[in-house]
Amino acid sequence: MNGLSTSITGRAMNKGLLSVEAINIRDFSHDKHQSVDDYPYGGGAGMVMQAAPVVESYEYICQKTKKKPRCIYLSPQGKTFHQRMAEEFSKEEDLVFLCGHYEGVDERALEMIVTDEVSIGDYVLTGGELPAMVMIDAISRLLPGVLNNEESAVTESFGLDGLLEYPQYSRPEDFRGRKVPEVLMSGHHANIAKWRKEQAIFRTKEKRPDLYEKYLLNNRTKT
């Protein structure tokens, strides 16, 4: 997949840590015009992706891999994608992403092959390809060897406690009169860790009160 061939995911693919293949559902069309859509029974606007090409595409993948990989359908009706889900999917050897178009996919095909329905957020796109790439990106960076030390040394947002990341600073020490917080220049590692944790909590409270509430609940029940 072209959009994933650059940067970190591209490097992972070159290293053989990750491979992404696109299957064209049109190759499984049942007619001369390679069409895979038809009018909805009961009427209404738009077209529906037919069951046969979709199911046969998945069956082709099963034959080729000699497995029945989890099949993720990208749709606004799915469970909203989050970091825990990425962690769970990263344990799978193979994943299939079913990318719908038009008004959607014939319900029978979904019943037959879809194991997980996932949304990347409450908005409607033209197809499932971009959401699939978003998921693949988030999952890939969790695979061993994909990130190097500089990239993974960060204790990222959601990496610890479900808190947002603390603020980051790099050179210069003074940028147009704005100074780097003094504690970061002190070399006092315990104080730095304490400051960062405080900042993470403060920011989460300010920017994501929903996450902050979860954090509070978690830390009440734990102790």
Q: Is 100 in the site for ligand 4GY (CB under 6 A)?
A: yes
> CB count, 10 Å around CB of 215?
19
Q: Is 53 in the site for ligand 4GY (CB under 6 A)?
A: no
Q: Which amino acid is located at 130 in the chain? A: L
**Which one of the spans 24-32, 123-131, 147-155, 184-192 is the region binding ligand 4GY (CB under 6 A)?**
123-131
Taking Cα atoms as reference points, which of 136, 125, 182 lies closest to residue 7? 136
Q: Which letter, b or e, does each residue of 88-112 get, where b requires 16 or more Cβ atoms within 10 Å of its Cβ? A: ebbeeeebbbbbbbbebbbeebbee
Residue 10 or 76 with smaller CB distance to ligand 4GY: 76
> CB count, 10 Å around CB of 33?
7
**Which one of the spans 16-24, 32-40, 124-132, 211-219 is the region binding ligand 4GY (CB under 6 A)?**
124-132
CB 111 within 8 A of CB 51: no
Q: Which of 29, 83, 119, 157 binds ligand 4GY (CB under 6 A)?
A: 119
Rounded CA-CA distance 185/178 in Å is 14
Q: How many residues bind ligand 4GY (CB under 6 A)?
A: 15
Q: Is 124 in the site for ligand 4GY (CB under 6 A)?
A: yes
Site for ligand 4GY in 155-194 (CB under 6 A): none
- Residues forming contacts to ligand 4GY in the complex (CB under 6 A) are 74-76, 100-101, 104, 119-121, 123-125, 127-128, 131
